[in-house]
Amino acid sequence: MKLKLNKVYEGIHILSVKVLVYFSLVIFSLLAISNFLISAYFNKTYAEWTLYRVDNILVIFVLFVITIFVFLTIDHKYSLAKLNAKKLVWALMIFTFVFSVVWVKITHSEPVADRLFVSMIASEFIKGDYSAFSVGHYLYQYPYQLGIVAFIEGIYRVVGSDYYQVVQLLNAIAVCVTFFSLYRITKLSFGEKISKVILILLFGCFCAMFFCTYVYGNLFGLAFASLALWMELAFLESGKTKYIIISIICISIGIILKNNYSIVLIAMVIMLLINFFKKKEALYVIFAVLMVASSICSNSALNSYYSIRANVKINEGIPMVTFFAMGLQDGWFGKGTYNKYTVKTYEAAKYNEKIAAEIGAENIKEQLTYYSQNPGKGLRFFSEKIALQWTEPTYMSIWESNCANNHTQELSEFTQSMYVGFWHNLVVGFMNFYQSFIWICAAFYIIVKRKILNANQMLLGMIIIGGFIFHIVWEAKSQYIIQYFIFAIPYAAGGFVEILKRSKEIMQKRYEKSDLRSNK
């Protein structure tokens, strides 16, 4: 009986890995082809409406060949495997931090829209003003933003509420933490050589650095989520309990700062369960339960703290199902984008969460029925929505700091050119190539390694799968995709190593043939 049960467990483990690999293969290949052919962009007025253009395939191909040639030259002269990882890490951290800080300083960007709300509310909390919890106000509608408000409040209590730029500068540290965690994840999952290649590739991940002007929970949450992933993999590798405890704490904080990192939590829990089926140890299930419980309890503790402090009852806010309903509609800025449906539905329901959720669920049913009866329109809608989010190479990182001409000082000629002009075209052109390069290499890695990839190597892939499926129906915005793009870079590093390996073999064969001919 025990032997039979072990075979069942082993079968579940093998099947789980295969499902993850082939889902990743399909999604990565789709994104590689999409990004090779087209790209989404915003016009010079910085209106949020997304436009599309056909990419110059020849230019991308030539740049790809040049990149391969440069890396082959470096590998021949210095050997990528022998590069000093410690020096590379320090160089990457210094470059990332300096680049991010300089961008923050030269843009003089101040928060607008939701970013302004969380910053203002944090300042109000310090003054004892809790009106944001009042009926119809921001935290009444969006109580799930309380985590980032609390975080910013903590910063403002130290530096003063007028210094929102400190939050932007802390974003630079968050990006460094993310990059370092990604390097450690890659080293644990894919090996020494690929981990050195990712350090080089991360120098080109400008979207994360430009995004530092964004006064919100995205980058802070990403830093903690990345730490959590690193610690979980360290636990799975070593079996040391201290790593999984740190992982549980980090992912709980990450979700408090940005609720969307619940996708990372789900992937981490599934990974623990997959390892349970492999190793048959109940400890993995216990830690999976603790991970979920910790996230729920930490969020409840935060709400309870502010509920007591403000002497208010914190409600559930706009139901999540209404965001899914909005994601199936035409929006102000493109397919599935914001159109105020969530707020209007909540107001129409007189702030009754149950009624608003029922309206949202009914609208989802109506939209899905419509698309099933009109498959052509459904295909066009979802194709445009996917392109809008996954083929925009800046992930709104540059757009964010100039979306409403939101600058506190006059900009230098260089900075203006970064927004509209020569430098903008050059940088966005590079970012477009970089985006195509990452997805092509990532897809190539999954294709060539599909038969030997293990569960731990598919952790980041599982998050990308979850993000892809989630954002097919959720409110659309390219900035929501930035973390999945960053999580694809380890696979791209692996794919590029494979491309270099095959390129070297092809060149060696040609040299051997030419030597044979010359000897004859």
Q: So what's the pLDDT on residue 279?
A: 82
pLDDT (tens digit, 9 = 90+) per residue, 333-355? 889 899 999 999 999 999 999 99
pLDDT at 227: 97
| 8 A C-beta contact, residue 89 and residue 199 | yes
Tokens matching residue 333: 């800025």
pLDDT given for residue 518 in this prediction: 58
Identity of residue 161: S
- Residue 230 neighbours by CB under 8 Å, 6+ apart: 181, 184, 185, 188, 247
Highest-confidence segment of 274-278, 321-325, 507-511:
321-325
Beta strand spans in 13-141 (E): 38-41, 51-54
Tens of pLDDT along 56-87? 999 999 999 999 998 888 877 777 778 888 99
Average pLDDT over residues 415-424: 92
Kindly indicate the confidence band of residue 515, based on its pLDDT and cuts at 50, 70 and 90: low
How big is the chain by its Cα radius of gyration, in Å?
24
CA atoms of 316 and 500, how far apart (whole Å): 52
Confidence band, pLDDT 50/70/90 cuts, at residue 511: low
Least confident of 144-148, 218-222, 399-403: 399-403
Average pLDDT over residues 488-496: 96
Read off the pLDDT band of 517 (50, 70, 90): low
52 by DSSP, 3-state: which?
A: strand
Report CA 386 to chain centroid distance, whole Å. 15
Q: State the pLDDT confidence band at 112, using cuts at 50, 70 and 90.
A: confident
> What are the residue ranges spanned by the domains of the chain?
2-519
473 in Cβ contact with 324 (< 8 Å) = yes
Q: What is the pTM of this model?
A: 0.94
What is the C-alpha separation between 102 and 83, in angstroms, rounded?
28
Rounded distance between C-alpha atoms, residue 453 and residue 217, angstroms = 33
Please compute the mean of the pLDDT values over residues 441-466 and round it to a whole number: 94
Decide if 144 contacts 318 (C-beta within 8 A). no
Tell me the torsion sign for CA atoms 399, 31, 15, 233. negative
Q: How confident is the prediction for the chain on average, in pLDDT?
A: 91
